[in-house]
Structure 1
């Protein structure tokens, strides 16, 4: 339980008028581009609060935009509508030239723009109120017909049935036999049981969050790995995740343009880590900062947060951080709720740290793609980690206190180091990217060097015990420790178990960067089966390692110095929960994947 002083401060921070659970509020950081994100205004002649606050720095173009906003919106909408219709006329719905000119991706772009402009002028309640009415008169009434004692067992049985049908109904393929799928499903059950057995308070577990979170994770995986809209590996379909993967790989090409300018075209084609990976990290972080300044990133995070807030019944702070972690990383996501960190419950602190450990950030995702890791696996793993981290964390450390952000989703304004305009934001992002790239470079250099030192000492020590083939190394030790985990994930029993165990151990003890580098470049892993390689790609996609443990404690302690002791108490448990969340995604991938070899065709990024 939190101390009386913290409870008093929570009461002082609690709003005077409670927001009803049925109408969550999103307060996005204000932007010079328009009104607060997620908040629809009807008086569009009134200047935004951002313009009022920074009136002395308002440019004439911004004033013109505010005055003629409807005209600008109409022009942009007509432009994209014409583009979409022209594409349909020129290429049709089924285009023989392939997925680059299919109908689905431009339609989704047009739909997103249309909805965004519509909700500038029409309150979103015109949709949410009918949806709420329909749900109240269908789902709620149907649930009421089921005796309360049977609701939880029936919900669990339904989820198990979905897993069984989704996992075993499809035909077998090489390595993806039903026996291998059964092992992956068994491993998933073992993971859930282990989290329940080691739970902080088994009686306080809210099974709704656990059941819905696992179901949502499985449905996302079904969409990605089985549907043609989610992912079609033959390249003829307009698949969504392949589209995002293609965009991510294209970013590498844009970064190479900068390298070619600074050096020459031949240097930009080198596959060195220093040339291929780090410049892409710098450019991507600068781009993220630009999107953040203009409010675009917060808008997406807000929509994700509302969805998970409603479906999983978690607090607003937890929903925001879980939704933001795959986009902006483990430290930056906590800054989004900086005003609330000091008043978080112990379970919320656990969940916030777990979300950071369970996924990788967009800033380094591009680096892994540059190494040649399958982009679709990385992107889908990031999305799957959101419900997974919420479910696993609430299973291991359930909520027993009253939360400050219960019933509302809030993304407060962060004024610290705020940019004055888009160019300033992009420059700040470039500087931040340079610092992060330098940190990655120095960290990897030191870690690989210290690993070499440890391996040298262990090999020398093992030589006197006749441990020579293979020699005694850190990787060998952690490989045997993680051997059972590799088996439970569904890795084929053909010699791959120890190798995948070594990758998992390297990721946990060192970091995922070194593990991914070994997977892609080390000759010892060149003969891994396609199934083992895919499961490894999912299992390594998280920040759960000892180095990140120190990072998270440091960041949260700086935000809320008075909670350092509480943060340290839950940190290791959150690390375990985050690692387990990533492993559940790997198990589900092993359960659902069919044509795993198609996921490892030569990557544009790696070339």
Structure 2
């Protein structure tokens, strides 16, 4: 778990005030808190259409630990900042924490028909500082300020403020536009800005009253945790408008620097990763073997599950695309987080309630697409016709429209920027990867990729591999209720989805480590922002619907062809097997894979009974070749599985809880290929590796369940009664 030392990594001062060095010095001074001379506010200039940038491909020094990335979006010459009323206000007058935009850096054509920009753009190259190159002369590097991983927590400042009597520079043009505009919405905005404290007080009183009323009216029959968390989030957001968030983050940084980081620096560099792995393993060992035994859950069975986890980690390291570039901090922290999440969800009622609430609300959100389907067809179709065409595709189209609106108002840019800062510090992965991984269990593999739509054409191969892996590793909230109605345990499904988030990051980074600089590792560079081509939110919503139709059609075509091809292969295998008297069961891909996965099922710690191990391995094969729904039906309805032991049933439920199947290849290839046609070759080459990684991440969650759940019957019966 390598960690950069600020003293060791601080760049030497430049001998001459070259433009690149001066810009870098300005950025460094800003980051260290040095006050910069205030620049007078420039009057708003009329919007000029974007001129094509010259794409400079200078050989500059890449970020330490990563190879040079020739992506023109990382070239400061192609970057700018712009302001409009829909983006979050600048959190720092110096502007170093703003998201950076690029133009004319994406090889793929725009997914949305071209329209005039509806917002004024203020090109500010000073906010995209270049790093000095290693040699003399101008050698600008990528204008992406990287936070040294783990040397201290990120510092935030999430409040709006006025500097020296006027609005900060990036907000200046938008404010000027509002002041000169007498439209209804502009007057509302001016009124809101004038009386903002009173508006915030009304918001706070409203949510406080709602929270208190919920406690009084439903203190016995409804959960109090979720309303409290909603009230807490709203209260903190309002508070940080007036109390700078950096006061809190600075205190955390101070405590971190004088505790964990102080101890860390005392450890020799060669011992840091082994000691980190040993500490994580110690936590898992104590949590696993300190618990009491149950009838079919002995410490010997748990030892097999733990051994299986270690074997899977070693196998992916041995087959890694770049073994020497594996970031072990990501792997160790990811696997430890998976175990801790399992403890939190399965051994505390609070953890389960929180994640079940999120999953249910995500399913409800996507379920509103059913009302549109009912209008277009019949009221009975959404409830009685459970087709992929009428159930999944409309939800994808609806969600893409919502995402387009969220990009238009600037919420997703703000969220990705904040999330990227923290995740890069904690796990060493890019913000785009982390956003997709965190969202997939709640909204699904197709919808989660849309959250980072502008970044897909610029992603490295490792990032593409990661977002595909996390899509294969979990199921989504939209199908959660359907699987629960089959008789499956809700706790197992919810916990498996959440546990697979860090597991997918760890397994993917073992199989395909990051070797290049990325756009969202620390600071965020947002390429070719299509969302600014909409005139208003309704226009953005309509653009999203059009984009959703294109992606939905691509998914349908890809699924049709891939599933038909699997059927062709099974037919040929069955015909060939008849001549060898292979009839019960017939020779198919499912049959072959079921036997090949027998050792894998044993490594999960299913049971000591070979018959149960074979049954579980066949379920996993059914899930991979067909889909998890058919495997779940087989688990709950097939008479062969009626007498399965509680431990074997538990591990089988976890092992099947993911979209890792051949049909999902069509969804992933269809969506990513449509979002970035120029990357279609990379997507296809990485798809099978990502599928194997996603399936394995799900299997590690099954192994962790074998470690954490000591008495399945007692635990689930108690939670059902509560």
TM-score scaled by structure 1? Answer: 0.77
Q: Select the residue among 76, 82, 85 that pairs with 2:209.
A: 82
Q: Is the 8 A contact 2:362 2:477 kept in 1?
A: no
Higher fraction of helix: 1
Tell me which residue corresponds to 2:322.
201
| Partner of residue 589 from structure 1, selected from 705, 709, 714 | 705
Aligned residue in 2 for 1:573: 689
* 1:312 to partner: Cα distance: 0.6
Contact 1:24–1:407 (CA<8 Å) still a contact in 2?
no
Q: Does 1:358 align with 2:473?
A: yes
Q: Which residue of 1 aligns with 2:386?
A: 273
In 2 relative to 1, CA 523–441 (structure 1 residues): closer, same or farther, beyond 3 Å?
farther
Aligned to 2:696, the other structure's residue is in SS state helix
What secondary structure is seen at the aligned counterpart in 1 of 2:350?
A: coil
Give the aligned partner of residue 124 of structure 1.
245
The 10-residue stretch of structure 1 (484-493 or 430-439) with the greater mean CA deviation from structure 2: 430-439
Flag the 1:164–1:26 CA change in 2: closer, same or farther, 3 A.
Answer: farther
Inter-CA distance 342–433: structure 2 relative to 1 (3 Å threshold): closer
For structure 2, the residue ranges without an aligned partner over 5 or more in a row are 1-61, 82-90, 102-117, 120-155
The correspondence of residues 142-221 of structure 1 with structure 2, limited to 5 A, is 142-221=263-342
Distance 1:547 1:56 in 2: 54
* 1:348 equivalent in structure 2: 463
Q: 1:380 to 1:38 in 2, by over 3 A?
A: farther
CA contact (8 A) 1:163 1:218 kept: yes
Contact conserved, 1:286 with 1:428, CA < 8 A, in 2? no
Aligned-pair CA distance for 1:528: 3.8
Corresponding position: 1:515 with 2:579 = no
Q: Deviations over 1:230-250 (max 9, x none)?
A: 23xxxxxxx323444555676
Of residues 127-136 and 62-71 in structure 1, the stretch that sits farther from structure 2 once superposed is 62-71
User: What is the CA distance between 1:87 and its match in structure 2?
Assistant: 4.0
Is the 2:343–2:708 contact (alpha carbons within 8 Å) kept by the matching residues of 1? yes
What is the CA–CA distance in structure 2 between the aligned matches of 1:3 and 1:304, rounded to whole Å?
Answer: 24
> Residues 278 and 437 of structure 1 are in contact (CA less than 8 Å); yes or no, is this contact kept in structure 2?
no
Q: Is 2:590 the partner of 1:482?
A: no
State whether residues 301 and 607 of structure 2, in contact with CA within 8 Å, keep that contact through their aligned partners in structure 1: yes
Q: How does 1:312-351 map to 2 (within 5 A)?
A: 312-351=427-466
Structure 2 SS opposite 1:229: helix
Distance 1:293 1:376 in 2: 33
Partner SS for 1:107:
helix
What per-residue deviation string (whole Å, max 9, x for no partner) do you get for residues 270-300 of structure 1?
Answer: 5x6349x955874686368547635667766
More deviation, 288-297/192-201: 288-297
Structure 1 residue 160, shift from structure 2 partner: 0.8
The answer on whether the counterparts of 1:38 and 1:299 sit within 8 Å (CA) in structure 2 is no
Residues 1:42 and 2:154 aligned together: no
Equivalent position to 1:6, from 51, 70, 73? 70
The 1:227/1:48 distance shift into structure 2, 3 A limit, reads farther
* Superposed CA offset, 1:173-217 (max 9, x none): 343322222121111010011011112232222211111111111
Per-residue deviation at 1:507? Answer: 2.6
2:377 and 2:447 map into 1 onto residues whose CA distance is: 32
Offset at residue 500 of structure 1 (A): 2.1
1:162 to partner: Cα distance? 0.8
Equivalence for 1:138: 259
Q: Structure 2: how far apart are the matches of 1:436 and 1:514? A: 25
Q: For residue 398 of structure 1, give the secondary structure of its aligned residue in structure 2.
A: coil
| Residues 403-412 or 109-118, more deviating | 403-412
Asked if structure 1 preserves the Cα contact closer than 8 Å seen for 2:316 and 2:507, the reply is: yes
Which position in structure 1 is the counterpart of 2:580?
A: 465
Within-5 A mapping of 1:432-451: none
Aligned pairs, how many? Answer: 581
Deviation, 1:122, is 3.4
- Answer whether contact 1:260 1:266 (CA < 8 A) is retained: yes
1: CA distance between counterparts of 2:472 and 2:662? 10
CA distance in 1, matches of 2:501, 2:374: 37
Instruction: Map Cα deviations across residues 242-264 of structure 1 (whole Å, 9 max, x no partner).
Output: 44455567679978888999999
Measure, in 2, the Cα distance between the counterparts of 1:419 and 1:586: 45
- Provide the C-alpha distance between the structure 2 equivalents of 1:146 and 1:544, rounded to a whole number of angstroms: 40
**CA drift at 1:113:** 1.3
116-125 vs 176-185, which moves further: 116-125
Over the residues paired in the alignment, what is the CA RMSD in angstroms?
A: 4.8
Distance 1:354 1:268 in 2: 30
After superposition, the Cα gap between the structure-2 partners of 1:90 and 1:316, relative to the gap in structure 1 and judged at 3 Å, is: closer
> 2:432 touches 2:520 (CA, 8 Å); kept in 1?
yes
| Corresponding residue of 1:235 | none
Q: For residues 373 and 80 of structure 2, what CA distance do their matches in structure 1 show?
A: 55
Residue 575 of structure 1: CA displacement?
Answer: 2.8
- Which is higher, the Rg of structure 1 or of structure 2? 2
Provide Cα deviations, 1:62-113, integer angstroms capped at 9, x if missing partner.
645555444333222212212323444566xxx5x35x1x432221111111
1:394 and 2:521 matched: no
- Matches of 1:576 and 1:266 in 2, distance apart? 38
Indicate how the Cα distance of structure 1 residues 563 and 199 shifts in structure 2: closer, same or farther if over 3 A, else same.
same
Q: From the superposition, tell whether residues 453 and 522 of structure 1 become closer, same or farther in structure 2 (CA, over 3 Å).
A: farther
Q: Cα deviations across residues 548-567 of structure 1 (Å, max 9, x unaligned)?
A: 44544454444445544444
Q: Which digits, 9 at most, give the CA deviation of each residue in 1:156-175, with x for residues without a partner?
A: 11111111111122222343
Quote the Cα distance in structure 1 between the aligned partners of 2:253 and 2:553: 49
Q: Superposition pairs for residues 501-580 of structure 1, below 5 Å?
A: 501-580=617-696
What secondary structure is seen at the aligned counterpart in 1 of 2:292?
coil
Secondary structure, in 3 states, of the residue corresponding to 1:539?
helix
Greater relative CO, 1 or 2 (CA 8 Å, sep 6+) = 1
Q: Structure 1, residues 543-596: CA drift from partner, whole Å, max 9, x if none?
A: 333344454445444444554444444443333222222221221122112343
Change (3 A) 1:501 1:564: same
In structure 1, what is the Cα distance between the partners aligned to 2:448 and 2:183?
28
